[in-house]
Structure 1
Amino acid sequence: MEVKKLYESGDYLIVNKPYDMYINSDDENEKNTVTYHIASPDSHLSTSFQPLHFVQRLDYATSGVLCIAKNKSAAGRAGKLFEKRLTKKYYLAVVRGHVELDLADIEYDVGMDPSTADSSHRMVAVTPSSEACVLPRAAHTRLLLLETGYYGSDAVSVVLLKPITGRRHQLRVHCSALRHTILGDYTYSGAADVAPHRMFLHATRFYWQLYYVSDDVHPEPVPLCPAPRAPPFPPSFHIKTPEPFFSDQKFASQWKSEQVVCKYKSEAEFMAACDVIDRSYVIGVRYKLFSCRE
């Protein structure tokens, strides 16, 4: 699969990662990695001639926007953006079942599954009915219902997910905790969801805003396009990938819409949906908070 470069500057590279691809690998013979397609296979190692620094990570099965720093200094600046929560990430997902609310805040802590604690393979959300987990950490996801329909004969919903925190497998675990496991998620369906050709989770939009470190303004990446060069210090920066599911014939041939709750197919509609999920509250919607701290 092609790893498409979306933006590039002297400090950063932003790509659209395909689904079912590793970010990197210590196996020099592994070619199914982002680093193999855009740089040298060992570029994720500090010993590389031109090392890359992944300031965010996407699971093997997750596709979408991936931001990479080209040097330690740039990685440190991006790290402070994430630390100060000056970045926003928006994911499109198809989940099992019809979601019966419009907007939700999911504040279940996330920790390691005790049965896989040695490998850190599975994570667990701490819910009122869950069992113990290892090293739970606070986690927060916002969910906005976009559309309900059917995948074949199975009820599914299209949702917009916005992680406020960045825990391992957070979106997958939180959806599973609501009993709306992401379509095609082998791990959190108990190895049962094997019919779909992929897991339907895609990092659709990435946003960051200007910040200051030691009185120095941090410049944003410059778009690779024929348009005039962007201002060196724009107030904010965002990038969005094309919609990945309904343009996939394997999914589209199985999909039947039931109800569109919030339009999202065009870029303008998707940006409007992002504005809705960014608000602290929305009047006139079915809202619920999921938390063990109530």
Structure 2
Amino acid sequence: MLWWRAMVAMVAERALGAVLHRLAGRALLRLCFIVRYKLGHSLPATIDDIEILHHSPHYIVLSKRYDLLINSNDPNELTVQAQLRHLFPHLADKQLGHEFRFSHRLDFATSGLLCISLSKLAAKAVTKCFTRGQVDKYYLALVRGHLSQEMLDISLPIGDDMRPEWHKIKMATAQNPYVGPCKVAHTRLLVLQRGLYCDYPATKVLLKPSTGRRHQLRLHLSHLGHTIVGDFSYSNRRDMWPYRMFLHAHRLVLPSPLDYIDVQTKDPFTPEDPRNKWVPVETLNALTEETYQRLKDARHHCHGMNS
């Protein structure tokens, strides 16, 4: 019976470790909030903190601010859903789970473009575009360190991190021994600028995912050793001093037969905003149509990273 007792003790030890890890994680997350919102330069989102960039009979495309949930089951929580209901009460459909048809998702900490379908037909058209690989999404990010290669092709399958302390918090690559079932994930990266963030080496990159896995860009960049500035989770809960996570959905090209969408935002990570603490030293590529096309067509002209 000694082996049985040893096994029970081991399971109990692991369970206790996971609980303590989660409690510590919540405490650090609270500390991160205090640092960014009480001591730092972040201001809480408001009901009007939303920018509509495209509005047609079929779709709304908006720019979501960072640190904001898309929807929630708590009616008192500020979300994109609540902002849309406030702005367009006549478009809220009580028959839907969260009143609006969100065509895709963005993480809580990620800012940028989000598309909402205004009918079943419009939502079906968007789904077909995504399924056929016809949607082009471009993201801007500021990452730690200087990337030596100008362009990278990253193909690393992604799955859930199955460790109890990280479950539903982090994802993992196929090379991680704790990863669950994986799905193919592909990201293309182009260096825009190299410079300094808070006097430390950093790189501004343009990213184009061709798959849409949870935390895909954050995990792929972390795997490269170039974690996104301000990414609390993938810095092992250390990077809490930046006022936000520096990942932004910058451009969306969605060729729906109902309404051809090509929308882009301004670059939020410029040195003109003192909160960014970003000083570019070397510019390799500017945000031009040629740059977007180069990234899209660069299949045979960039360095690869495979699992």
User: What range is the shorter-chain TM-score in?
Assistant: 0.7 to 0.9
Q: Does 1:54 align with 2:102?
A: yes
User: Which of 40, 51, 67 is matched with 1:20 structurally?
Assistant: 67
User: Which of 13, 23, 29 is matched with 2:76 structurally?
Assistant: 29
Unaligned runs of 5+ in 1: 211-217, 221-235
Q: Does 1:9 align with 2:32?
A: no
Q: Does 1:291 align with 2:306?
A: yes
Q: TM-score, normalised by structure 1?
A: 0.81
Structure 2 partner of 1:154: 200
1:138/1:45 CA distance change after superposition, 3 Å: farther
- Does structure 2 retain, via aligned residues, the 8 Å contact 1:6–1:14? yes
Alignment of 1:1-294 (within 5 A): 1=45, 2-31=49-78, 33-39=79-85, 47-48=95-96, 51-116=99-164, 119-127=167-175, 130-209=176-255, 218-220=257-259, 236-246=260-270, 247-251=272-276, 254-264=277-287, 269=288, 271-281=289-299, 287-292=302-307
What is the rounded CA distance, in whole Å, between the counterparts of 1:257 and 1:282 in structure 2?
A: 28
User: What per-residue deviation string (whole Å, max 9, x for no partner) do you get for residues 71-130 of structure 1?
Assistant: 222111111110101100000000011001011110000000011599522101224xx3
What is the rounded CA distance, in whole Å, between the counterparts of 1:15 and 1:112 in structure 2?
A: 29
What is the rounded CA distance, in whole Å, between the counterparts of 2:120 and 2:163 in structure 1?
A: 36
- Does structure 2 retain, via aligned residues, the 8 Å contact 1:44–1:53? no
- Does structure 2 retain, via aligned residues, the 8 Å contact 1:52–1:71? no
- Does structure 1 retain, via aligned residues, the 8 Å contact 2:152–2:304? yes
Structural RMSD (CA) = 2.3
Higher share in helix: 2
What is the rounded CA distance, in whole Å, between the counterparts of 1:11 and 1:117 in structure 2?
A: 42
Structure 1 partner of 2:4: none
Percent identity between the aligned chains? Answer: 35
Tell me how far 1:189 sits from its aligned partner: 0.5
Letter in structure 2 aligned against 1:249: P
What is the rounded CA distance, in whole Å, between the counterparts of 2:253 and 2:150 in structure 1?
A: 23
What is the rounded CA distance, in whole Å, between the counterparts of 2:249 and 2:164 in structure 1?
A: 26
1:151/1:175 CA distance change after superposition, 3 Å: same
Tell me how far 1:153 sits from its aligned partner: 2.1
- Does structure 2 retain, via aligned residues, the 8 Å contact 1:55–1:67? yes
User: What per-residue deviation string (whole Å, max 9, x for no partner) do you get for residues 223-259 of structure 1?
Assistant: xxxxxxxxxxxxx4310111111143211xx222221
What is the rounded CA distance, in whole Å, between the counterparts of 2:104 and 2:210 in structure 1?
A: 14
Asked which structure has the greater CA Rg, the reply is 2
Unaligned runs of 5+ in 2: 1-44
Letter in structure 1 aligned against 2:303: K
- Tell me, what secondary structure is at the counterpart of 1:273? helix
In the alignment of these two chains, the number of paired residues is: 257
